[in-house]
Structure 1
Amino acid sequence: MRTIMVLLMKYVACVIAYAVGLDLFFAANIVEILSFSLFTTVASYLLGDMVILPQIGKRAALVVDFLLAYTMVWIFGNILLDNYMQIAWGSIISAFIIAGAEIFVHRYISHHASDFPFERASMKMGRNIAYSTEFAEEDIHDRDRK
């Protein structure tokens, strides 16, 4: 149920962002905005929230979500228009709106971390696995063999 809530929050944020960014600068209709929002929501959830967020953290996931939204609007804008200034402003506005909404999504996920399977797995594993061997004790038998 929590996953559906996260997907719904992401989808509503994408619809609002793309309605502002695409409809303001491009001649996008509602079907294009809704379908594009669905694609971005799924891609952002799979890449940003299921892979980046548990492994690296909130800031990296926020940067990935911003860049993903910016790139999606840039690609979509290139299909609709040839004016690069309109594409740039639509991309930036949409990406900032989505990144602002992602802050609340990541807070919601971290507040309800035990309800998400990917968060439970990362909590068991430990968030900072890079230092797991730095403080390990040496095996006495291995040192004597050399």
Structure 2
Amino acid sequence: MKHVNVLFIKFVASLFIFGISLGLLFDAPLVEVVSFSLLVTIISYFIGDQIILPRIGKMNTVVVDFFLVYLIVWIFGAIFFHSYLMIGWGSIISATLFAGSEVFVHSYIVKNIKQTVQEKQRSFNQSFAFEMAEDQGPHPTQSKDE
């Protein structure tokens, strides 16, 4: 049930973000706003929140989400929209607003779905951080012919 809450929060946030960045600023139809919201919610949740967040942390995942949303809007915007201005600025504005909202979503995920995030994080064992060994090079008194 917690994952459904996260998906709902992400969908509402992305619907609001795409409504502003594409709908209000560039007069995109409601169908395209909802389709972008649904696509970004699903891809961002499975790639960003389930795979990347447990491995690299909250703030690095925000950067990944920024570029992910930027690429999604750029690629699919080229299909739906016919104005390069709309594609370029729409992807930058959408990615920036979405990354800003993901800061709060990732905090919610780490706080409420803490078990799955911490189980997947690797622990660093410092006893294997450095190796000490003797140099196995040639001895100075030994010649090449021996």
Q: Shorter-chain-normalised TM-score: which range?
A: 0.7 to 0.9
Identity of aligned residues (%): 44
Q: Distance in 2 between matches of 1:130 and 1:54?
A: 18
User: Which runs of no fewer than 5 residues in structure 2 stay unpaired?
Assistant: 134-146
Correspondence 1:68 to 2:72: no
For CA contacts below 8 A with separation 6 or more, give which structure has more relative contact order: 1
Matched letter for residue 29 of structure 1: P
When normalised by structure 1's length, the TM-score is: 0.78
The corresponding residue for 2:82 is 82
Q: Take 2:57 and 2:127, find their aligned partners in 1: how far apart are those partners? A: 17
Structure 1 match to 2:47: 47
Map Cα deviations across residues 23-46 of structure 1 (whole Å, 9 max, x no partner).
235453222221221111110011
Residue 81 of structure 1, CA deviation: 3.0
The letter of the residue matching 1:78 is A
User: Number of matched residues?
Assistant: 133
- Kept after mapping to 2: 8 A contact 1:11/1:38: yes
Asked which structure has the greater CA Rg, the reply is 2
Distance 1:30 1:56, change over 3 A: same
The CA RMSD measured in Å over matched residues stands at 2.4
Equivalences for residues 52-131 of structure 1 within 5 A: 52-114=52-114, 116-117=115-116, 119-122=117-120, 125-126=122-123, 129=124
**Offset, 1:111:** 1.4
More helix by share: 1
